[in-house]
Structure 1
């Protein structure tokens, strides 16, 4: 995702294409206008009566104007970032998958070019063209990524090929001379007379040597089925809504593969965006958002020079998709806890939440300040009603807008994690597909087949030489070994493998190899601890070695030990692409960990996953928000679906799930299931009078205090924590401003934690935490609560004694308010009891006072206490 913030002019460009943000902007502008009208009305119609609230109204209007701009710009930025994340992940996937695939081709051509039977034929030692054609076809049957294999002599004469649709006799392609002059493979992508029916061909070539003299005798060409491979990638990982086109580009930024060539054809030049900027790019008269990625290479192989993966989405459809609602269905506690870490995963979201709460506090304070105004202040009352109504509308709009912003941010993170999991499991399937090819092809080695069939005295040495040659080219194995029909290992590579010679294959693996019906079949041992991998878990791929003259007769087999430790771990690391905030694992259906980047989930351990994740069908992916290792996290899973014929039609089944975690921060105690939007208080505007209460949240409960005893609320950040107090509920002191203190004298008050007073446990401090300044006669104190709610009048008939109050005479909540016709109960705090207990040290039970909280502060010569 691009981290570059949008400028104001860029925001204006994108905004017309975001209908939902446009509606939000218009609503914000309407409310902004309402605040201006209310302020102007108060100044003109009742300037004297409104003088106490005019500064608050001015502060509200100013803060609202600033938040309006920040909120709209953040919504636009996050939506643009969401689209760039979506198309960027797929663009990077395209180039990474291609490079990893082509890396295997470089090993293939090096191995096949040394095949003794093929080299003997090219050197002219025999002319059994039918036998060679059969052998090349057998190779193609194993490695289905090739659509043509060609053998040529040093003059370019075609000696053998497998594609009957393009019969060749001679080639004058310069790649032949380049290959003959090189002792490495040559990678060519362009038009070639070797593939006359193709606009461009991707060919891997290597020179071949005389098996006895070592003289250069010809060239082997492996022609990669480029079009088929790219079509498969685009089909599996393209945009189902067809809003985005995926492309593969060459070093001149020309399209060499297109998911939709009718839209962006092969051969055209397109703009690229290598610096991941959120700018718009013009192509064919249409504006696009573009993401472009090069490859970091794979195991030292850089990929074809200059190749790029790219995704392009037109601006006019980029923001038209209907995304899932990720927020409404979440557990409120999980939602609140995750949002408390917004400063870590989305600082703009955090800043907007803080700003919105600041405005809500200003409005709440304005409502508290004017509560209980009576007499001939009818004009002011009308203004106050407008303040209350507009404040409620503002709060609802903030909730909705922040919900949308939160949704977009989480959507980007969920999508990124889900795509990453999909990429990882696809990398695994593609990699292991090559392993199944290798074991079957090497089992066809004439030298191995003859040595096992004849058992000459030097059979072990002959097989050792073949295995060593293979292993030098394929570094993903710890050892290769050959065993006879009884399962006795006769030859093995590597120092560790030498210890296997003379040992016997396990009965279950040997029986499985003996049952293999044809050279197209193979066997893979389960991923579990194996002596062939030092007692650690790994896959061992087996293929039957058959008699050179009687293919139905199995004379032994070959086992290739996959180096699962580093290879699986490297796949995970490469799929994460350096994103340190993510962890990735491969697990099976039972949750057993095959490999992991997390030290808390080592290979062999068990990961607990819900059934919704472990029961996903092959090829399906799912991401969810959860808690993991004591932190809020996104958990994304994707189940293997095979590659080409591997795990699809070849009879092999071994489901692996890629799991990706992104952590956001430690789990925090929520304030309960009640939330502001769940506790809207219905109010009949036609009713007159009533008792006004200031409502707030504390420890998951909606509570109230008489508005007349509440002066205002401030952020808990203004509190100075101290350990001077004797009362368990004291959390610190709060300095009052001159306007808050009697006679304009600066002073300090104690702040008490209402949650601890009520339930004996400290409240969780969050960015929501507020301190209400209460006055009772000449006394004042601060009360820590979780969040402010509203200021609302209630009829006296709505107050009833609390049934819980009978259980203890010392309870601070002796009444409940039945709001919304009794559907919402609000606990009313008894202000007299609260002040008597905290300020005068009088126990409501009548016992002798044990402490006097105000006295500690009053005795301190450094402070002055209001009392």
Structure 2
């Protein structure tokens, strides 16, 4: 069975036009390599004999890289397209489940409302008063479009919707609810809501307030279609290229963002696996992703419900191409790219292989140029071949660089999209959650018993106990609160489910509550430490309690202490939920406009601290999002943020709206890796020089880099360059900068393959070891009968210079110091370039000194020998020993 890392991509390639274009361009370059190789074999087989095997191997390696690059480009595009669908599908079902969890609590609490129970029991008979009470409830919990009270026989006692007057109901949910001691969740057609195709109803039985006998049923009809419309409009595809669906357990559409495209009741194919695949629907192939809920606080959601997103495959990959890297500073782009091994392992492997192939080409050309030194007449055709190799290599490099850039753009754009989308979900979850808190405090402030007991001038202990019992019952149903408390007109707390009885609320809160004009108004304290929450920061929601006979008279208030710590943490962790899986270190935060942390998943940045981010991340408009790649805490990071935008009337049209201090911003920071020093990958040398035209008797030098310095060695003393990876460390090595030995093919005419000692040239120049990477090379140089290998950072080129261009260094006449390693510099033509010339005689002399003398070499080694050694044939022997 395919996995998310091994799924076939062939069926998707015809729909990826940019990948096909890349594949065609790479194929054309591959043909050019074939032509160059054939031309070399025909025109200069002897001269090109030493480079033809390397050319063939390089061509084969490029061909393999071409296939790997195309496959990974396609796979990454497919993976990211599928991940985007999965993210959206997951949000659909999770938002629905979290919303409906609140409904299960609502129906449970309202079913215990004494006023409603008295009326259904026949103890009271004021239908209009009960209807007004239900209206007051719906005005606060605006997610309900109908509330109905029925007796045990299904007769309708009171309903809110005047447009669908019902006498009775024969719905089976009534009988089921009467025998159930918890809520009943029903989604289907019902005579309780005759105008709906499917009604989502939460019902609970009502009991006699004195005897406990079952007396009727309470039904809350959730505004399902309206709510799904909000979800689709908030999280939908702005380009209308995909469709968002909510499915039932039979895989039928129960909500659709576009009912003309996929109507309600339609049976659709589902893909609940984490593996992208093509599925046929309506004669068209689609990418499909289906997600089921993991549940929320023990509530699983309606049985079988699933979120799904579908997009036609023929348009799934045709969106605007990513240009993210082009928008970054080069240093930032290269730095992020340096962590491709963690961010996108396939990309890193291709980068390394492409760098290696590029350096092979550079080495082939460099060695060929060295080979033709002083032999222009006889090796002219080889020089032409070398020029073709160099040009084609440059084109190959450019194509691979562009393709790798496209792949990395795809990966980064996907990461930024996920990061930003997670923040959008987080503020949505937060606004929806706090909307419920604003509703709760206002509704509980209308509790008749609390109003009556608070209006009593001389309250007994029994009165206080009754108030505490009511608060405890509520708190038991709503676990998101650590404490509910009631206070009088002076702010004195007289009943509480926690601490604080006998204390007084702060003057600011008391003043705000006593000034509330209607039952629709409420007050939220700033997010700050509260003694009612263990001196930790939280929100406390307040509503005024009014005199039972005079609604204009405020006689106290109710406060509900939100359990901010675990609730906000659950939102952040639930919102992350693996959505930013390409980053190993991802942190999420809720902050205010000042950057003060309200909630955090980062232990090093606790609540109350300040999140150090760019001010632009703290300034998005309401509901607006942004994301960028930045450096943060010494790391490259993907940062996304979204400002809260409210939900329904909450923070939109109520008294809480327009209060900038109440704005909350979700921030997600996904670290990519530590800030890198220097560039990454195979970069072309910045230094340029031009050989003197027409000069046949000039001086030829082979040039190379040590870090950023350009150096030269007379080309006549250079044998060849070899990969640094071939050096074998030797435990018997001696002297500073001695790295080991390296095999060399045909080091002398008539001799077998031998070895040379390798030294770190950078260590002699600067005293610091040379950092090795894919560009590092070993230049094998000889002086007389002796050869050594020199580690260099990167090869550059071979050029011919006028002797007048050589200038002695200021220290060139002195005979001491490491500065003698460079006695002359070449004044090149462009950019006042100075190329340092290595004095091989001095270098060999230093390496032959007793302090740096290499030990006796094993058989078949031809190399620089310290004083007292000689070499015969391919065997190094100590002088005088036989």
The reply on whether 1:660 has 2:668 as its aligned counterpart is yes
Contact persistence 1:695–1:705 (CA under 8 A): yes
Q: Could you report, residue by residue, the CA deviation over 1:10-33 in whole angstroms, capped at 9, with x for unpaired residues?
A: 433322222221221111111100
Residue 252 (structure 1) aligned to one of 236, 247, 250: 250
- Aligned counterparts of 1:484 and 1:226: Cα–Cα separation in 2: 39
Q: Could you report, residue by residue, the CA deviation over 1:117-166 in whole angstroms, capped at 9, with x for unpaired residues?
A: 11111111111111111111111111111111111111111111112222
Matches within 5 A, 1:712-727: 713=721, 716-720=724-728
Contact persistence 2:595–2:611 (CA under 8 A): yes
Q: Secondary structure at the match of 1:371?
A: helix
Aligned residue in 1 for 2:797: 791
- Aligned counterparts of 1:804 and 1:125: Cα–Cα separation in 2: 112
Aligned residue in 2 for 1:845: none
Aligned residue in 1 for 2:356: 358
- Aligned counterparts of 1:119 and 1:162: Cα–Cα separation in 2: 17
Aligned residue in 2 for 1:846: none
Q: Could you report, residue by residue, the CA deviation over 1:453-474 in whole angstroms, capped at 9, with x for unpaired residues?
A: 1244233122111101101100
Contact persistence 2:809–2:823 (CA under 8 A): no
Matches within 5 A, 1:469-484: 469-484=473-488
Aligned-pair CA distance for 1:510: 1.1
Matches within 5 A, 1:46-195: 46-195=44-193
Aligned-pair CA distance for 1:625: 2.2
Q: Secondary structure at the match of 1:466?
A: helix
Aligned residue in 1 for 2:837: 830
Q: Secondary structure at the match of 2:314?
A: coil
Q: Could you report, residue by residue, the CA deviation over 1:158-199 in whole angstroms, capped at 9, with x for unpaired residues?
A: 111112222221111101111011001000111111111111
Range that drifts further, 198-207 or 689-698: 689-698
Unaligned stretches of 5+ residues in structure 1: 843-848
Contact persistence 1:91–1:309 (CA under 8 A): yes
Aligned residue in 2 for 1:425: 427
- Aligned counterparts of 1:520 and 1:424: Cα–Cα separation in 2: 27
Taking a change above 3 Å as real, the CA distance of residues 130 and 57 of structure 1, as seen in their structure-2 partners, is: same
Taking a change above 3 Å as real, the CA distance of residues 630 and 718 of structure 1, as seen in their structure-2 partners, is: farther
Contact persistence 2:426–2:666 (CA under 8 A): yes
Taking a change above 3 Å as real, the CA distance of residues 785 and 444 of structure 1, as seen in their structure-2 partners, is: farther
Aligned residue in 1 for 2:870: none
Aligned residue in 1 for 2:678: 670
Aligned residue in 1 for 2:526: 526
Aligned-pair CA distance for 1:723: 8.4
Q: Could you report, residue by residue, the CA deviation over 1:699-747 in whole angstroms, capped at 9, with x for unpaired residues?
A: 456666666655555555444567877766x273243244568833432
- Aligned counterparts of 2:626 and 2:709: Cα–Cα separation in 1: 35
Unaligned stretches of 5+ residues in structure 2: 865-882
Residue 375 (structure 1) aligned to one of 360, 373, 377: 377
Taking a change above 3 Å as real, the CA distance of residues 696 and 606 of structure 1, as seen in their structure-2 partners, is: farther
- Aligned counterparts of 1:120 and 1:333: Cα–Cα separation in 2: 74
Matches within 5 A, 1:468-547: 468-493=472-497, 497=498, 499-547=499-547
The reply on whether 1:204 has 2:206 as its aligned counterpart is no
Aligned residue in 1 for 2:576: 576
- Aligned counterparts of 2:422 and 2:639: Cα–Cα separation in 1: 11
TM-score calculated relative to the size of structure 1: 0.91
Taking a change above 3 Å as real, the CA distance of residues 400 and 758 of structure 1, as seen in their structure-2 partners, is: farther
- Aligned counterparts of 1:818 and 1:227: Cα–Cα separation in 2: 76
Matches within 5 A, 1:548-627: 548-578=548-578, 581-627=585-631
TM-score calculated relative to the size of structure 2: 0.89
Aligned residue in 1 for 2:445: 443
Q: Secondary structure at the match of 1:221?
A: strand
What is the aligned-residue RMSD (CA, Å)?
3.0
Aligned residue in 2 for 1:279: 277
Aligned-pair CA distance for 1:38: 1.1
Contact persistence 1:82–1:411 (CA under 8 A): no
Aligned-pair CA distance for 1:442: 0.7
- Aligned counterparts of 1:798 and 1:392: Cα–Cα separation in 2: 32
Taking a change above 3 Å as real, the CA distance of residues 859 and 139 of structure 1, as seen in their structure-2 partners, is: same
Contact persistence 2:712–2:838 (CA under 8 A): no
Q: Could you report, residue by residue, the CA deviation over 1:345-364 in whole angstroms, capped at 9, with x for unpaired residues?
A: 21211111121112112211
**Equivalences, count:** 842
Contact persistence 1:734–1:749 (CA under 8 A): yes
- Aligned counterparts of 2:403 and 2:165: Cα–Cα separation in 1: 66
Contact persistence 2:203–2:218 (CA under 8 A): yes
- Aligned counterparts of 1:695 and 1:650: Cα–Cα separation in 2: 74
Aligned residue in 1 for 2:844: 839
Taking a change above 3 Å as real, the CA distance of residues 53 and 246 of structure 1, as seen in their structure-2 partners, is: same
- Aligned counterparts of 1:841 and 1:334: Cα–Cα separation in 2: 41
Aligned residue in 1 for 2:416: 414
Aligned residue in 1 for 2:743: 736
Aligned residue in 1 for 2:651: 647
Range that drifts further, 37-46 or 283-292: 37-46
